[in-house]
Structure 1
Amino acid sequence: MEQEFAAFVDGRFTDFQRLGYLLTGDWRVAEKLVYAAFAKVRRSAGWERAAQVALVRASLRWWRPPYVGDELLQSLSRRTRAMVVLRYYAELPDGDIAEIMGCSVAAVRTRFSRVPTGRTSRRPFHRLG
């Protein structure tokens, strides 16, 4: 099991670090949060989902100065930003986002209905991937 987990971490670390960066806007913090998420889920079943949940929830607790990246992402609350990253970067369906965020599918959809879309794109966050 230890070798399988090590292979999982080796294979997925970069993707989780990118997800962490999109959630926090800071590569060093993202790396720390990813390591913490992997340490937390080491003995869990379903490492992928458990690590996503741990990383997103840790990023919601982490305080940070305003992110200086994409203006649309910068303007979002932490929870909304996490949902946007999970939908457009991780390409997760609403049900999975709701599970990770600890809310209902209706809450996810309501939050997305209120996200500013920008004037030039119907899918403003397509550059996240």
Structure 2
Amino acid sequence: MDAEAQESFREFVANRSSALLKTAVLLSGGDRHAAEDLLQNALIKAAGRWHRIDEPEAYVRQILYRQQVSRWRLKWPRRELSVAEPPEASPDADALSAAELRVVMRGALARLTARQRTVLVLRYFEDLPEADVARLLGCSVGTVRSTTHRSLARLRALAPELAALGRGDGAQPRSRDFSPVEVRP
């Protein structure tokens, strides 16, 4: 890699690594260490072909998705995710509710299979159409649809408290800007 390409790669990593890490964390079920490994491996692969890449972010994201697919195909044993408890009292009840919802959502996503989690992240976090998800994962659109349906149903079963956290006074649904999945009671 020449000096100009090296500088371009460093600039890309400095500017886009935090956004790519967020995607990697979601793909890895909230395991930040696994996400960092996933991103690091993707960046290493991208660095080797840097001079041939037209759209670096799309290229690295595709590497992330494919590596995650490879990981869940290996059927590694699942690791338990430990998270800190949110504080009991908060001056801002809405902020606490949002934090609780994020903790519950992360825990529920971590309890899904890697395949289910990957499909939900691609569909709802990355906002990709079913056809693009199918192309990225190397499966049919019908498989994406059925996996999405089963994943959402399992997410609702794993975390029924999401429905309770999603409502303010029990009457009106609250905003779910921070939630990539629609949760129904």
Q: Gapped runs of 5+ residues in structure 1?
A: none
Query: Residue 126 of structure 1: CA displacement?
Result: 4.9
**Map of 2:44 onto structure 1:** 39
Q: Aligned equivalents of 2:11 and 2:129: distance in 1?
A: 26
The 3 A distance-change label for structure 1 pair 125 and 30 is farther
Q: Aligned equivalents of 1:99 and 1:23: distance in 2?
A: 17
Query: Residue 106 of structure 1: CA displacement?
Result: 2.3
Aligned residues: 127
3-state SS of paired residue (1:114) = helix
Q: Relative to structure 2, which stretch is displaced further, 53-62 or 77-86? A: 53-62
Within the alignment, does 1:55 sit opposite 2:59 as a pair? no
Q: Given that residues 94 and 105 in structure 1 are in contact (C-alpha distance below 8 angstroms), is that contact kept between their aligned partners in structure 2?
A: yes
Q: Given that residues 20 and 33 in structure 1 are in contact (C-alpha distance below 8 angstroms), is that contact kept between their aligned partners in structure 2?
A: yes
What are the Cα deviations for residues 33-53 of structure 1, in whole angstroms up to 9, with x where unaligned? 101101112315232232122
Match of 1:105 among 112, 120, 141: 141
Q: Aligned equivalents of 1:114 and 1:125: distance in 2?
A: 23
Equivalent positions of 1:1-129 (< 5 A) are 1-24=5-28, 25-42=30-47, 43=49, 44-45=52-53, 46-60=55-69, 61=71, 63=76, 64-67=78-81, 70=105, 71-115=107-151, 116=153, 118=156, 120=163, 126-128=178-180
Query: Residue 125 of structure 1: CA displacement?
Result: 9.6
Q: Gapped runs of 5+ residues in structure 2?
A: 83-102, 167-175, 181-185
Query: Residue 103 of structure 1: CA displacement?
Result: 1.7
4+ residue runs over 4 A deviation: none
Using the size of structure 2 for normalisation, the TM-score is 0.57
